[in-house]
Structure formats: structure tokens, C-alpha cells
């Protein structure tokens, strides 16, 4: 994932950025596909440099998406019933906005089986945000 130090927040798109910034979508597209048709994460300095996230959990094998590793600005994927329906940012920085959660190092085992070293050894505060692609996130049962 690309992080611009002048604007350090990660960028994601659903639908793909080219559609958002040009023709847009028709009402029929929205009625058929809802808010988006997939998830693209910007991984370069321009919006056309993106990585598409696998929609089905089965499609993760053979990709660079792995469980339990971490780096300074990581993205985590949440699948419900085998389909992508949420994702989140985990940033090793203390971002003070009210929409960020700040889990403590001690709380990490409650939501991760394999704890990456960068979280196990965390000395500062981390900021996380979940983005749900559903109206009913309380019904997510993984």
C-alpha cells in the first residue's frame, strides 16, 4: 500500500477509481451492484496504481495476501460466509480522529490468533478503522 506522507491516510475504492472520476455509474448500475463491485487498494502515488482484493476468500491462495504478517500501514480483510464484506486499516501511529479505534497491545489476542511481532512489541498507540460493505455489520460471523 502506498502512503503519501503529506496525506498519510490509505486510499481504497469501490468501484474502481477510473469509474468514480470519469463517467460515474448509472442508477441501473447502482441498483444492480449497490455501493460497489469490489475493493481496490491504491498501491502507488497515482490513483490508477491499485491492487484488487479477492472477493471470495477461496481466491486468496496464490496471492500476496497472508494471515498474521504486518507492516507499518497494513490492510486487513474480513470475510463473512467466504465473501469479502469488510476491511480495515491498521496504522502504527496515533491518529486522533474520533472514527479510529485504539486497541491496546494487550487486547490484540482477542481478535488475532497469530500475533505479528510488530503488534506484540508495539510501544506506542495504534489506530485502526473498520469499513463495512454491508448495512448489517452486527451479523458478521466470519
> What digits encode the pLDDT tens for the residues 25-49?
778 877 776 666 678 787 777 777 7
Higher pLDDT: 8 or 114? It is 114
* Choice between 72 and 46, residue whose per-residue pLDDT is larger: 46
Q: Is 60 exposed, middle or buried (0-12, 13-18, 19+ CB in 10 A)?
A: middle
Same domain? 47 vs 60: no
Q: What is the C-alpha to C-alpha distance for residues 76 and 54, in angstroms, rounded to an integer?
A: 12
Give the C-alpha separation, 60 to 8, whole Å: 27
Domain containing residue 38: 1-52
Residues 31 and 71 in one domain: no
What is residue 2's predicted lDDT score, i.e. its pLDDT? 36
Q: Same structural domain for residues 23 and 77?
A: no
- State percent of the chain over pLDDT 90: 2
For residue 1, the model assigns a pLDDT of 39
* Same-domain check for residues 59 and 45: no
At 45, give phi and psi (nearest 5°).
-80, -10
Same domain, 40 and 103: no
Cα separation, 123 vs 68, in Å, equals 19
In terms of DSSP H, where are the helices of 7-98?
A: 17-20, 27-33
Q: Mean pLDDT across the chain, nearest whole number?
A: 75
Is the domain of 76 the same as that of 99? yes
Cα–Cα distance between 79 and 56 in angstroms, integer?
Answer: 8
Over residues 93-118, the mean pLDDT reads 83
Angle at 138 between CA 117 and CA 59, to 5 degrees: 55
Shared domain check, 78 and 141 = yes
Amino acid at each position: 500500500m502506498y502512503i503519501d506522507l503529506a496525506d498519510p491516510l490509505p486510499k481504497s475504492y469501490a468501484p474502481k477509481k477510473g469509474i468514480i472520476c470519469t463517467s460515474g455509474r448509472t442508477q441501473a448500475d447502482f441498483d444492480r451492484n449497490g455501493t460497489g463491485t469490489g475493493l481496490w487498494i491504491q498501491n502507488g502515488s497515482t490513483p490508477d496504481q491499485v491492487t484488487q482484493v479477492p472477493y471470495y476468500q477461496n481466491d486468496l491462495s496464490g496471492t500476496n495476501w497472508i494471515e498474521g504478517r504486518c507492516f507499518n500501514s497494513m490492510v486487513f480483510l474480513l470475510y463473512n460466509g467466504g465473501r469479502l464484506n469488510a476491511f480495515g486499516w491498521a496504522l502504527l501511529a496515533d491518529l486522533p480522529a474520533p472514527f479510529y479505534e485504539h486497541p491496546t497491545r494487550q487486547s490484540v489476542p482477542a481478535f488475532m490468533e497469530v500475533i505479528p511481532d510488530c503488534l506484540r512489541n508495539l510501544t506506542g498507540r495504534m489506530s485502526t478503522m473498520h469499513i463495512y460493505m454491508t448495512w448489517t455489520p452486527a451479523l458478521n460471523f466470519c
